[in-house]
A and B are shown apart, each in its own frame.
Chain A
């Protein structure tokens, strides 16, 4: 399966307060409403620049900080198809897998803002159409891939109610 979109590039250590601030989380309960404030403190009106299917590109330690599931959730609801980063904080990574947000490890150093990316999820290749370059994503353990392939833990458990694929 191939997904295409433009890259929105962020730096290292993008924490969960940047992704969705506690200020917003304390005021709202609807995750789709909260999605409008994605990255608000570091990139005001970021939400308005997203086209469904776009990607967020990060450096190291993406999603560090809180265990708030709202973080990957608002990214997904804002229309982002995948987050590609050099590294992920573990709670964020796990929450993303659970709710069906694609999170991919890759060496993102040469991706610039609005580069057009084409990701082949079967081969794990990311083609940068703007730069005519290509990088590969790191494969994840088979058990994690099972959850991702089912679109999240809810669907995974319908198929494997006792985690049989582990």
Chain B
């Protein structure tokens, strides 16, 4: 019987053939943890009796949820993590942006790898065909000490995305639509395999948005099998040999779902759940106060390009706020070189330094009571941005840009040339 991609990757990391439903102990290729974990992964590591890392070269830590330090608690956390990384000689990134962006950009994750990180959006790395899952600090301590972790081999749901994506519609719209159809626990404990002709046309940035958000339907991991887009992305990012893994044609799936995107409209998640979806036609005209182009989900270079194309030469409506936080230094530099940052500044936007700011309750652009924020980020739970009297809509960068020009949710296709 054929194996799914997940069965193959886990088999490679267990040293024998494993099947869906088994509990296995697997070797870890790389880890990432950051400054927002409570307890910090390093504290859990010491608490478990850890002294040395399984492989310092494969351990990445990033200061990014609150960076530069936005609270006293973070000043302390940052110092602790710096000291740890210096002593243990593992990889520390600060000022480089969001951990997930760093892991992808700096070649820390390759096709076929097994990677864990202390953040639910670790599923992002599946965009290069890796098995990548979010874990808590205690699990991370086990991984850091032993280089191994236990897993239940998940079943896989295959989502076949077909058709031609219409102009003005992006991968964020696809994934919000999928989550709406699947519901918030539709993929709990399962792997999600995105395939189909429409996926092949997506850039790596666009693919990352999809695998990133798969956790919002409960997925353990999500992935897109490697192709030329993947190899092109990896070209100058790693010197290592790439050994991509693919599912067998006769692999057994828990569910096979077909989605045709040819007629997809821009899609939105309404307050206060990610699966509370609606087509743009149903929410257009809703007044907003602030637009956020932020996070590991929606502030990659492609996202900034899309938003800038709509904002170019225009100003956001008086009274509106527009917040842009590039997901990484690499993205920020490219955006500067391409003139995108100028476009955002001219239009009235404010720019934050690469980090998770604007996504998860940091003291940064916190909305006021009664404010409505439309965001390219990944969650809209009540209180997510630090004020439980504000509400959040999730959308694509195009929709966010179009909306802040008008002070209300706006169909970005109105701006197509």
Shortest beta-carbon distance from A95 to chain B in Å: 4
Q: Which of B48, B189, B381 has the most A CB atoms < 10 Å from its CB?
A: B381
User: CA A163 – CA B24 in complex, angstroms?
Assistant: 10
User: CA A69 – CA B40 in complex, angstroms?
Assistant: 10
Residue of B nearest to A22 (CB): B361
A66/B150 in contact, CB under 8 A: no
Interface residues of B in 114-142 (CB under 8 A from A): 118-120, 122, 134-139, 142
B218/A26 in contact, CB under 8 A: no
B383 at the interface (CB under 8 A from A): yes
Interface residues of A in 15-50 (CB under 8 A from B): 15, 17-18, 21-23, 25-29, 31, 34, 41-42
Residue of A nearest to B389 (CB): A41
Interface size on B, residues (CB 8 A): 49
B188/A26 in contact, CB under 8 A: no
Residue of A nearest to B380 (CB): A17
A143 at the interface (CB under 8 A from B): yes
Shortest beta-carbon distance from A85 to chain B in Å: 11
Give the size category of A's interface with B: 35 or more
What chain A residues lie within 8 Å of B137 (beta carbons)?
A: 69
User: CA A68 – CA B25 in complex, angstroms?
Assistant: 23
User: CA A22 – CA B366 in complex, angstroms?
Assistant: 12
B184/A61 in contact, CB under 8 A: yes
A154/B120 in contact, CB under 8 A: no
What chain B residues lie within 8 Å of A15 (beta carbons)?
A: 379, 381
* A153 in contact with B142 given A26-B66, A26-B71 (CB within 8 Å): yes
A116 at the interface (CB under 8 A from B): no
A153/B138 in contact, CB under 8 A: yes
A118 at the interface (CB under 8 A from B): no
A65 at the interface (CB under 8 A from B): yes
A22/B384 in contact, CB under 8 A: yes
B185 at the interface (CB under 8 A from A): yes
B220/A90 in contact, CB under 8 A: yes
A67/B36 in contact, CB under 8 A: no
Shortest beta-carbon distance from B186 to chain A in Å: 10
Shortest beta-carbon distance from B258 to chain A in Å: 25
B120/A25 in contact, CB under 8 A: no
Residue of A nearest to B122 (CB): A67
Contacts between the two chains (Cβ within 8 Å), count = 136
Interface residues of B in 19-54 (CB under 8 A from A): 23-25, 36-39, 44, 47-48
User: CA A163 – CA B382 in complex, angstroms?
Assistant: 39
What chain B residues lie within 8 Å of A42 (beta carbons)?
A: 382
A67/B138 in contact, CB under 8 A: no
B363 at the interface (CB under 8 A from A): yes
B383/A26 in contact, CB under 8 A: no
What chain B residues lie within 8 Å of A87 (beta carbons)?
A: 185, 188
Q: Which of A17, A25, A67, A90 has the most B CB atoms < 10 Å from its CB?
A: A67
What chain A residues lie within 8 Å of B77 (beta carbons)?
A: 29
A13/B361 in contact, CB under 8 A: no
A99 at the interface (CB under 8 A from B): yes
Which of A21, A29, A98, A163 has a CB less than 8 Å from the CB of B383?
Answer: A21
Residue of A nearest to B154 (CB): A90
B336 at the interface (CB under 8 A from A): no
A69/B136 in contact, CB under 8 A: yes
A154/B361 in contact, CB under 8 A: no
What chain A residues lie within 8 Å of B134 (beta carbons)?
A: 67, 91
* A28 in contact with B37 given A65-B379, A89-B185 (CB within 8 Å): no
> Measuring CB to CB, which residues of chain B are less than 8 angstroms from any residue of chain A?
23-25, 36-39, 44, 47-48, 65-66, 70-71, 73-74, 76-77, 118-120, 122, 134-139, 142, 150, 152, 184-185, 188-189, 218, 220, 273, 360-363, 379, 381-384, 386, 388
> Measuring CB to CB, which residues of chain A are less than 8 angstroms from any residue of chain B?
13, 15, 17-18, 21-23, 25-29, 31, 34, 41-42, 60-61, 64-70, 73, 87, 89-91, 94-95, 98-99, 141, 143, 152-154, 157, 163, 166
Task: Beyond A31-B39, A153-B138, A153-B142, list 15 extra A-B contacts (CB 8 Å).
Answer: A17-B379, A18-B381, A23-B386, A26-B361, A26-B362, A41-B382, A60-B185, A64-B218, A65-B379, A67-B122, A67-B134, A69-B137, A70-B37, A91-B136, A99-B138
Across the A-B interface, the 9 shortest Cβ-Cβ residue pairs: A22-B361, A69-B136, A95-B136, A67-B134, A41-B383, A61-B185, A70-B38, A41-B388, A17-B381
Selected A-B contacts with CB under 8 Å, 5 pairs: A13-B273, A27-B73, A29-B73, A31-B39, A69-B118
